Amino acid sequence: MKTVHIGLEWFPERAGGLPRYYFDLLNTAPNLVDARGMVLGSANVALETKGRIRSFAASTDSYARKFRGARRAYAELVREERPDVTVSHFALCTLPVLDMIDGPMVVHFHGPWAGESSVEGGRNLRVRAKRLIEGAVYRRGRLFIVLSEAFADLLHRDYGISRERIRVIPGGVNFGRFDIDETRPEARQRLGWPTDRPILLAVRRLVRRMGLEHLIDAMGDVVRRHPDVLLLIGGRGPLRDELDARIQASGLERHVRLLGFISDADLPLAYRAADMNVVSTQALEGFGLIALEALAAGTPTIVTPVGGLPEVTAPLAASLVFEGAGREAIAAGLLDALNGKGIPEAAACRRYAANFDWPIIAARIAAAYEEALSL
């Protein structure tokens, strides 16, 4: 079966959950399906993938140029590959070619684009435009793949997609990449992190819905009981200055540090070096790949009860889900975790995460593509 995947951006050039998912799937799925794709990016995309994936425009290009580039790239892929199924990973990049798709289209629903914009304070006109684009693309979809039951409910409730056309397939993790040999002290030494303090890690884009303000505030309560604890926040985003000011105003400079961007090469080490990975999302988390990556590194991950996050960690241990998403619940959960209450050992974390290794997940996705042909 031949598939053409319309993505957003190419992971080595742009970090993020969707680019990472697309990158990992397209690097695993060729053994299962004849996959080709198109994304926003540089000419290096085609060079790195030997032409399997190509860039149809640069991320910085105008919408008109992106529109023309998408149509040109998709026409070339159809002419060369004659795909059985077209796969959409992002509505805006799929919109230009909707009238060109001849055959079934499977939609990977990675999240409500308009809804995320609204949560981050986007203008109403932009939010409505995004919702119209999503609606136009989703009406064309024959089968939908979501990462969690939470997003299956959202897709059905907010977009009117029947549950019969939705398949829940969790995200995958490149298990071997995160199951590294370094011990925690060795990983800390390589990163230059303290070796004599409990370390909590949060790797997130610094935007409102990630709840980092609540996490920082919770640390004020935590350090009174554990005065040596350190929270390291990795990531970039528009809230950096605001979060830094919050740390300073709370007198937490010794206990909370903003690391900035953590490179892809250092990410397995960072997870391994931490005693606990923390995900404090407040809204619209479809899965939480970072939780799974940390578990693959043998590091327990504790998450807020938001979206699909509990579906990732609760089957391993109920204690890995905060009672709520606010400051008090996060502080209470962190105190329990630092006291070792109900926290699984590293080996248990790894065994659990191995169930999400990409070859296993990609096989389920390939089966859904096959199913779309018969609907």
Tens digits of per-residue pLDDT, 305-364? 999 999 999 999 999 999 999 999 999 999 999 998 999 999 999 999 999 999 999 999
Among 193, 192, 218, 191, smallest CA distance to 330 is for: 218
pTM of the model: 0.92
Tell me, what's the pLDDT at 305?
97
List b or e across 223-249, with b for residues whose CB sees 16 or more CB atoms inside 10 angstroms. beebeebbbbbbbbeebeeebbebbee
pLDDT tens per residue across all 375 residues of the chain:
899 999 999 998 988 889 999 999 998 766 676 899 999 999 999 999 999 999 999 999 999 999 999 999 999 999 998 999 999 999 999 999 999 999 999 999 998 898 888 887 878 899 999 999 999 999 999 999 999 999 999 999 999 999 999 999 999 999 999 999 999 999 999 999 999 999 999 999 999 999 999 999 999 999 999 999 999 999 999 999 999 999 999 999 999 999 999 998 999 999 999 999 999 999 888 888 999 999 999 999 999 999 999 999 999 999 999 999 999 999 999 999 999 899 999 999 999 999 999 999 999 999 999 999 998
Please count the other Cβ atoms lying within 10 Å of the Cβ belonging to residue 153. 15
- Domains in the chain with CATH codes: 2-172+357-374 (3.40.50.2000), 175-355 (3.40.50.2000)
SS3 content of the chain, % helix, strand, coil (to 5): 50, 15, 35
